[in-house]
C-alpha cells in the first residue's frame, strides 16, 4: 500500500515537473506544447507578427482557461495544485515566512497565495543570476532576502543609519507606521535595490535610498522624496512622483525632470515610459533618453486603458475596458504601431492581467453574466 502511494506520489511529482518545465520553456511563440492537461482549449500560438492592426475574435491565437490564474516567476500560482514543499523560515528579528515552493530543475519558486498568507505583503522579487533561489521580500517595514537553497531569511538593509537605529526609529515614529525599508525595486541586472524609508524625522518624511547588493553599500539617493514607480537603468533611476517623471543619476545624485505632466498610472519599459493621458482612451509614450514623445489612442472615448509594459522588449499590452466590454492590443512602443488587437466576445470583468513571458499576456476575471471564472492568454 505504501509502495503504491510512493509510486503514485513520484509519478505526480514527475508529471508536475514536466508540466512546469514545459510551461517555463514556452517562451517561444512557436511553441505548441499544451501547458496543462487541465486546459480545456490549449491552442497554437501565432508564428509571425503581422505589422498591421488586425481585429480578431478570440480564437485561435489565445488560450482559454476556465478559472482564475495568476502568474509569479512564470509559475501559475492559483488555483492549480502542484507538488509543493512548505518552507518555514525565520529571521533573527522575529519575522518569519511560511510559503509553499515548487522546485523545477535547480530553481526554487515560491508560490504566492493571494489573500491567504498573513506573513507576506509582497510578491517575491527574484534576484537575477541566483538561479531562482534568492528572492527579495518585504513586510511593510523591512526588506529581507530569502535564500531557499540555503534556507535562510535575513534582513537585507543595515539596522543602523548613522545615529538612527531600527529600534530607536520604531520607538520615536509618529507616523502611521515605520517603514525602515519599503517598496523595493530591483534593477534588471540585480545590482541595485531602490527603496523608500521614513526612518528619519519621526516618520514624517520619506527618503529614497539605494542599496548595492554586490558591495552592501547603502546610500541616500534623494532626501524628502518618494516614488510611485521606478526603473533603474545601469546608472540612472527614473521615477514617477505625483504628475512628474524624474531622473536621478546614481553616482552624482543629480536630479533632473523628464516631464512635468504625466499621470502616474503608467509603466516603464526602458527607455520608454507610457501612460494614459486622461485615464481613458488616449495614451502617451515618452522616450526617456531622447525625450521624444508620441501619442495614440485606443478604444472609444468612454474606455479606460490599462497599460502593462514588460522588461524584455518594447512591446506593451494595452487592456481596453468599457464597462464589461474588454479588448486588448499589443503595441510596439518603439514605433507606436499596434501589432495585434483582440476582443473578448462576452461581457467580462477583469481581475488580474500580467505578462506571463515576453510573448504571452494574461487577462483573468469572470464572465459578467454567469460569474464563471475565466483566464485568457494572448500572444502577439
Q: Which of residues 125-154 bind other proteins (CB under 8 A)?
A: 139-142
Between 148 and 166, CB nearer to other proteins: 166
Kindly state the smallest distance separating residue 9's Cβ from other proteins, in Å: 28
**65, burial (CB in 10 Å: exposed 0-12, middle 13-18, buried 19+):** buried
Pick the binder of other proteins from 2, 37, 106, 116 (CB under 8 A). Answer: 116
Under rule CB under 8 A, residue 297 binds other proteins: no
Under rule CB under 8 A, residue 118 binds other proteins: yes
Between 104 and 356, CB nearer to other proteins: 356
Between 17 and 24, CB nearer to other proteins: 24
Under rule CB under 8 A, residue 164 binds other proteins: no
Under rule CB under 8 A, residue 352 binds other proteins: yes
Pick the binder of other proteins from 279, 301, 335, 372 (CB under 8 A). Answer: 279
Instruction: Assign 114 to helix, strand or coil.
Output: coil
Site for other proteins in 81-100 (CB under 8 A): 91, 93-95
Q: Which of 68, 153, 72 is nearest to 109 (CA)?
A: 72
Strand (E) or helix (H) holding 366: strand 360-367
Under rule CB under 8 A, residue 350 binds other proteins: yes
Kindly state the smallest distance separating residue 363's Cβ from other proteins, in Å: 9
Distance CA 129, CA 3 (A): 39
**359, burial (CB in 10 Å: exposed 0-12, middle 13-18, buried 19+):** buried
Under rule CB under 8 A, residue 62 binds other proteins: no
Q: Which of 302, 345, 364 is nearest to 55 (CA)?
A: 345
Backbone angles phi, psi at 14, to 5 degrees: -65, -45
Kindly state the smallest distance separating residue 11's Cβ from other proteins, in Å: 32
Site for other proteins in 166-225 (CB under 8 A): 167, 170-171, 173-179, 182-183, 196, 198, 203-206
All cell numbers assigned to 142: 523591512
Kindly state the smallest distance separating residue 61's Cβ from other proteins, in Å: 22
Pick the binder of other proteins from 23, 308, 341, 375 (CB under 8 A). Answer: 308
Between 107 and 266, CB nearer to other proteins: 266
Per the listing, cell 539596522 goes with: 159
Distance CA 380, CA 100 (A): 32
Between 51 and 243, CB nearer to other proteins: 243
Distance CA 102, CA 109 (A): 5
DSSP state of 41: B
Backbone conformation region of residue 170, classed left if phi is above 0, alpha if psi is from -120 to 50, else beta: alpha
Q: Which of 237, 247, 239, 178 is nearest to 206 (CA)?
A: 178
Between 42 and 241, CB nearer to other proteins: 241
Kindly state the smallest distance separating residue 4's Cβ from other proteins, in Å: 35
Under rule CB under 8 A, residue 67 binds other proteins: no
Amino acid at each position: 500500500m505504501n509502495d503504491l502511494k510512493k509510486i503514485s506520489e513520484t509519478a505526480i511529482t514527475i508529471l508536475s515537473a514536466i508540466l512546469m518545465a514545459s510551461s517555463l520553456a514556452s517562451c517561444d511563440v512557436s511553441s505548441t506544447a499544451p501547458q496543462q492537461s487541465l486546459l480545456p482549449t490549449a491552442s497554437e500560438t501565432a508564428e509571425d507578427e503581422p505589422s498591421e492592426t488586425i481585429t480578431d475574435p478570440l480564437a485561435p491565437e489565445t488560450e482559454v482557461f476556465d478559472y482564475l490564474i495568476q502568474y509569479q516567476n512564470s509559475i501559475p500560482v492559483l488555483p492549480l495544485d502542484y507538488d509543493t514543499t512548505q518552507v518555514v523560515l525565520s529571521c533573527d528579528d522575529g519575522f518569519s515566512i511560511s510559503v509553499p515552493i515548487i522546485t523545477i530543475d535547480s530553481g526554487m519558486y515560491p508560490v504566492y497565495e493571494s489573500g491567504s498568507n498573513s506573513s507576506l505583503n509582497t510578491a517575491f522579487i527574484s534576484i537575477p543570476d541566483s538561479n531562482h533561489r534568492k528572492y527579495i521580500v518585504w513586510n511593510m517595514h523591512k526588506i529581507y532576502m530569502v535564500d531557499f537553497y540555503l534556507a535562510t531569511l535575513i534582513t537585507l538593509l543595515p539596522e543602523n543609519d548613522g545615529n538612527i537605529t531600527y529600534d530607536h526609529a520604531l520607538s520615536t515614529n509618529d507616523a502611521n507606521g515605520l517603514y525602515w525599508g519599503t517598496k523595493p525595486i530591483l534593477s534588471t541586472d540585480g545590482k541595485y535595490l531602490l527603496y523608500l524609508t521614513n526612518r528619519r524625522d519621526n516618520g514624517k518624511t520619506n527618503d529614497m535610498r539605494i542599496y548595492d547588493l554586490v558591495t552592501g553599500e547603502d546610500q541616500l539617493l534623494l532626501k524628502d522624496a518618494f516614488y510611485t514607480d521606478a526603473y533603474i537603468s545601469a546608472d540612472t533611476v527614473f521615477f514617477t512622483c505625483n504628475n512628474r517623471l524624474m531622473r536621478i543619476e546614481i553616482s552624482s545624485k543629480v536630479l533632473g525632470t523628464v516631464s512635468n505632466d504625466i499621470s502616474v498610472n503608467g509603466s516603464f519599459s526602458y527607455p520608454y515610459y507610457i501612460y494614459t493621458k486622461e485615464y481613458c482612451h488616449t495614451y502617451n509614450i515618452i522616450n526617456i533618453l531622447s525625450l521624444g514623445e508620441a501619442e495614440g489612442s485606443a478604444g472609444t472615448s468612454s474606455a479606460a486603458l490599462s497599460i502593462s509594459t514588460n522588461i524584455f522588449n518594447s512591446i506593451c499590452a494595452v487592456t481596453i475596458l468599457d464597462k464589461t466590454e474588454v479588448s486588448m492590443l499589443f503595441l510596439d512602443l518603439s514605433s507606436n504601431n499596434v501589432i495585434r488587437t483582440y476582443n473578448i466576445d462576452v461581457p467580462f470583468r477583469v481581475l488580474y492581467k500580467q505578462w506571463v513571458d515576453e510573448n504571452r499576456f494574461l487577462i483573468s476575471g469572470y464572465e459578467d453574466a454567469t460569474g464563471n471564472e475565466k483566464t485568457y492568454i494572448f500572444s502577439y
